[in-house]
């Protein structure tokens, strides 16, 4: 295993060794003390429209280049996850409705990348740690400068919680209202599901501490 340090090696370096990243996150989790996730703010969510052409397929087990995450993909498949039960839709930062983007830019975060996730009924995101892939793709030069210790991870809920909507972070199962902003450490193991009948919408906010 490559010798890497989450507080010394850059985000870019870890993207060449993502299975090492996962192992080090597990070690951080075993030493974690206190809350896994905490509410830090409540935003007023403006009315907004999403253009159909801006909605992308981000199904977890879709066909894509998995790079150094092949082992993780194979593990998910081995326990029963597939293209049907991991459906997820996404609106990229560059295509977010302007009223919503303006609201999100009020968050205390540098170099943010916002992704609007739409989880349809029956969709699940298996328990995982984020690797900052979307942020890394938009800021490859900054990824050579910052470490995971420098990062901030917020989730902004756009819709109220319906029966069957879940968000689990570490040992915590959230209860939320529309506009709630939650922060969790980058190494937090988390998962979401929609066993309800209406889509669940949130914005994943990745960036750097101010």
pLDDT digits (tens, 9 = 90+) for 148-160: 999 999 999 999 9
Q: What is the pLDDT of residue 24?
A: 96
- Does 173 map to a domain? yes
Q: Which residue has the higher pLDDT, 116 or 68?
A: 116
Between residues 67 and 105, the one the model is more confident about:
105
Q: Is 89 contained in some domain?
A: yes
Neighbours of 161 (CB within 10 A): 17
Q: Count of domains in the chain?
A: 1
Alpha-carbon torsion 192, 31, 115, 77, what sign? negative
Query: What CATH number did the domain enclosing 61 receive?
Result: 2.60.120.10
User: Nearest CA to 95 among 139, 48, 61?
Assistant: 48
Average pLDDT of the residues in 99-116 = 97
Structural domain includes residue 25: yes
Tell me whether residue 134 is in a domain.
Answer: yes
2 located within any domain: no
What domain range is 36 assigned to?
Answer: 11-208
pLDDT score at 62: 94
Rounded-to-integer distance, Cα 201 and Cα 87, Å: 13
pLDDT of res. 202: 98
Whether 70 shows a pLDDT value over 70: the answer reads: yes
Q: Is residue 153 part of a domain?
A: yes
Please report whether residue 1 resides in a domain.
no
% of the chain residues with pLDDT over 90: 96
| Count of Cβ atoms closer than 10 Å to residue 41 Cβ | 14
pTM to 2 decimals? 0.94
**Given strand 190-194, what is the order of strands in its sheet?**
124-128, 190-194, 165-169, 172-173
Both structure tokens of 153: 């991870």
What is the sign, positive or negative, of the torsion defined by CA atoms of 18, 147, 26, 1?
positive
Strand intervals (E) in the chain: 38-42, 55-57, 89-91, 110-119, 124-128, 151-157, 165-169, 172-173, 180-183, 190-194, 200-208
Q: What pLDDT, on a 0 to 100 scale, did the predictor assign at position 67? A: 87
Residue 100, in any domain of the structure: yes
Which residues, listed in sequence order, are joined to residue 128 by a DSSP beta bridge?
190
Name the band, by pLDDT with cuts 50, 70 and 90, for residue 2. Answer: low
Per-residue pLDDT reduced to its tens digit, 85-95: 999 999 999 99
């Amino acid at each position: 295993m490559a010798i890497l340090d989450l507080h010394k090696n850059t985000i870019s370096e870890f993207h060449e060794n993502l299975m090492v990243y996962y192992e080090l996150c597990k070690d951080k989790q075993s030493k974690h003390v206190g809350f896994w996730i905490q509410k830090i703010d409540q935003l007023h969510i403006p009315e907004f429209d999403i253009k159909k052409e801006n909605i992308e397929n981000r199904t977890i087990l879709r066909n894509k280049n998995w790079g150094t995450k092949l082992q993780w993909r194979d593990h998910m498949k081995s326990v029963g996850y597939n293209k049907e039960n991991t459906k997820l839709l996404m609106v990229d930062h560059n295509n977010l409705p302007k009223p919503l983007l303006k609201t999100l830019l009020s968050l205390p975060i540098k170099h943010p990348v916002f992704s609007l996730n739409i989880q349809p009924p029956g969709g699940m995101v298996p328990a995982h740690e984020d690797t900052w892939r979307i942020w890394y793709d938009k800021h490859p030069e900054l990824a050579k400068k910052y470490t995971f210790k420098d990062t901030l991870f917020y989730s902004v809920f756009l819709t109220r919680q319906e029966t069957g909507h879940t968000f689990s972070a570490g040992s915590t199962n959230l209860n939320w209202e529309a506009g709630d902003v939650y922060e969790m450490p980058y190494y937090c193991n988390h998962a979401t599901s929609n066993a309800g009948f209406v889509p669940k919408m949130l914005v994943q906010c990745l960036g750097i501490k101010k």
